[in-house]
Amino acid sequence: MMDKIYMNQLQFYGYHGLFPEENKLGQRFIVDAVLELDLRQAGESDDMTQSIHYGQAYDVIKGIVEGRAKNLVEAVAEEIAKQLFATFTLLEACTVKVIKPDPPIAGHYESVAVEIRRERP
């Protein structure tokens, strides 16, 4: 079992969705990310190069959620995972949850979400 870095409830404004109003007006998105890697060396050496810089990971996620619109939150989650692996060579696996608190659907609910877990290819 790997060590984990948790990034919880990252909030962004994006334009993802199937409906034209989502692409035009945009909406809030919340992202949870769990980054899995061996943190022993970082803990023993107190050396940032042996871990993942939270600020850089945040910027990767922000760039995707606030970037080019996608139809599906599934595609947003996949792109986040892909870019995290491309950016951080120490990353061995990640879980990405993309939450849409206000999707344009009728009914009473807290949110809808997609969660994926990917391992380094």
Q: How far apart (Å, rounded) are the C-alpha atoms in residues 38 and 25?
A: 41
**Does 100 qualify as catalytic in the annotation?**
yes
117: Cα separation from own chain's centroid: 11
Cα–Cα distance for residue pair 110/97, rounded to 1 Å: 15
Beta bridge partners of 35: 5, 94
**Which residues form the catalytic set?**
100
